[in-house]
């Protein structure tokens, strides 16, 4: 999971992209980068947060009226410096590219590009494969005009498997945006006061950039805006869209809108539906406390539905990153105490109902429950507003190793014992789908129904590669 931002039609393009990247920093804390174009390409990227990678001095060098940028959270490779985006090829025309997602046939693409096209890929970043497939197709057509660009993207759709939303700058031509045929990863488009076009993984980035959200880029849609502001689009609607449901559960900011639905109101609805599961569990909590930040709207909806007091019982250190997307188990476990501190007066002697967005490995939840127990809770219940995660995600979330998924290999009573709670309550899959709106969504990590063709051999290969990248194989 990563975040991407792009704009065309504003002389301060890179500064606006920087603002957008700060807004979606939660989508990736490993690396950041920006590419701009005036009469040539200017690229700056590096490891770390947006604010540490960029300075006023290097931003000033990113001149031009069109720019793209990315924040990276690695699910492929070790997240080395050379994997930071944007990536660039100088033939044809010069193309810089960023993406959000995960290419599941990356190994095959790298082999085919070397054998058939003499294109050697030296990074572990899957955007390099997308870029080279696109560049090779565009070079064969030998035209940077929109019909040729659309034909080249169609080649990407036919060749690259997985989830990907992509932004690219094409030399003197313009800015390209497209979303994979299943539309698994989000991408929105907005307009500025002077007619600028802007694109981002989340609508909140458009807000902070001073843009007005127009619509989502549709699944399988390709958009091209030239340097004169002319707009073209083409769409491959052969597959029903399957936006990732985990965007609503965890990744997206609550002030974002995805596929026309408010993430904030969706999470409130999920909390209200979770209240029914709490009633069935027969527990009698004294207080509802969210595990910050994602769970706040759901905890509020749950507390209101049950008529219970909602309290902030855990104070978050804003300078610690999101523990779920930290690279190792040890980092996640250690970060709990760095990140959260309990308010003892809201906890001591009470039966506490904690609300969380999901339980993946169980380590973060275990650490938080330990904090609540030490603060004097009489009993602790944990409610997740998503169902058990029992299948690996191969589309850009670091849940690729099946044995790490606690609900896959343990019963609810075993998970309760491991985490240390008196009762563990899950949202039902039906409740999750209802809360998000019952539309076509990718719920593979909960249901095992993958929107693209995923074989057991492919799952095993992805699992081995992820373990190897973590140094645990």
Q: Point out the residues that are catalytic.
A: 2
Matching residue, tokens 């604010």:
51
Return the structure tokens found at 118. 């003499």
Instruction: Output the CA–CA distances (angstroms, integers) from residue 421 to 95, 241, 285, 309, 381, in the order listed.
Output: 53, 38, 13, 20, 6
- The string of DSSP letters for 73-128 reads --SSS---GGGPSPEEE-SSS-EEEEEEEEETTHHHHHHHHHHHH-----SS-HHH
Query: Given its phi and psi angles, is residue 118 left (phi above 0), alpha (psi -120 to 50 degrees) or beta?
Result: left
| Residue 70: HSE in the Cβ half-sphere, 13 Å Cα cutoff | 30
3-state SS string for 392-450: CCCCCCCCCCHHHCHHHHCCHHHHHHHHCCCEEEECCHHHHHHHHCCCCEECHHHHCCC
3-state SS string for 168-191: EEECCCEEEEEECCCCCCCCEEEE
Strand-pair category, 287-290 with 351-356:
parallel
Return the structure tokens found at 310. 């909602």
Among residues 386, 329, 385, the alpha carbon closest in space to that of 361 is found at 329
């Amino acid at each position: 999971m990563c975040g991407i931002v792009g704009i065309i039609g504003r002389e301060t393009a890179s500064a606006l992209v920087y603002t957008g990247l700060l807004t979606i920093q939660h989508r990736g804390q490993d690396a950041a980068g920006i590419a701009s174009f005036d009469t040539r390409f200017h690229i700056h990227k590096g490891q770390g947060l947006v604010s540490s990678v960029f300075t006023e001095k290097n931003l000033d060098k990113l001149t031009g009226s069109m720019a793209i940028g990315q924040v990276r959270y690695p699910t492929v490779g070790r997240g080395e410096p050379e994997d930071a985006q944007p990536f660039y090829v100088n033939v044809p025309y010069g193309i810089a590219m960023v993406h959000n997602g995960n290419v599941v046939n990356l190994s095959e693409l790298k082999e085919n590009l070397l054998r058939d096209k003499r294109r050697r890929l030296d990074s572990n970043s899957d955007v390099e494969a997308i870029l080279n497939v696109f560049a090779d197709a565009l070079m064969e057509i030998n035209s940077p005009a929109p019909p040729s660009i659309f034909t080249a993207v169609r080649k990407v759709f036919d060749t690259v498997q997985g989830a990907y939303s992509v932004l690219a700058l094409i030399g003197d031509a313009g800015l390209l945006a497209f979303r994979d045929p299943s539309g698994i990863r989000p991408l929105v488009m907005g307009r500025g006061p002077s007619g600028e076009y802007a694109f981002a993984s989340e609508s909140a980035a458009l807000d902070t950039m001073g843009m007005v959200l127009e619509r989502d880029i549709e699944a399988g849609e390709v958009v091209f805006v030239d340097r004169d502001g002319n707009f073209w689009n083409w769409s491959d609607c052969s597959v029903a869209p399957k936006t990732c449901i985990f965007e609503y559960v965890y990744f997206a900011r609550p002030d974002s809108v995805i596929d026309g639905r408010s993430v904030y109101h969706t999470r409130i609805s999920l909390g209200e539906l979770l209240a029914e599961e709490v009633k069935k569990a027969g527990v009698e909590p004294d207080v509802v406390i969210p595990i910050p930040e994602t769970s706040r709207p759901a905890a509020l909806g749950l507390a209101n539905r049950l008529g219970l007091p909602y309290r902030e019982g855990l104070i978050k250190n804003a300078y610690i990153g999101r523990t779920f997307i930290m690279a190792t188990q040890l980092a996640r476990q250690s970060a709990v105490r760095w990140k959260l501190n309990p308010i003892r007066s809201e906890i001591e002697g009470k039966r506490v109902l904690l609300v969380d967005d999901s339980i993946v490995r169980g380590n973060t939840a275990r650490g938080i429950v330990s904090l609540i127990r030490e603060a004097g809770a009489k009993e602790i219940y944990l409610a997740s507003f998503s169902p058990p995660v029992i299948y690996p995600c191969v589309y850009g979330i670091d849940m690729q190793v099946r044995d790490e998924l606690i609900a896959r290999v343990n019963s609810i009573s075993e998970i309760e014992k491991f985490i240390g709670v008196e009762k563990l309550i899950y949202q039902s899959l039906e409740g999750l789908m209802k809360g998000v709106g019952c539309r076509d969504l990718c719920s593979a990590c909960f249901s095992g129904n993958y929107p693209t063709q995923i074989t057991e051999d492919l799952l095993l290969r992805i699992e081995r590669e992820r373990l190897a990248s973590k140094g645990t194989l």
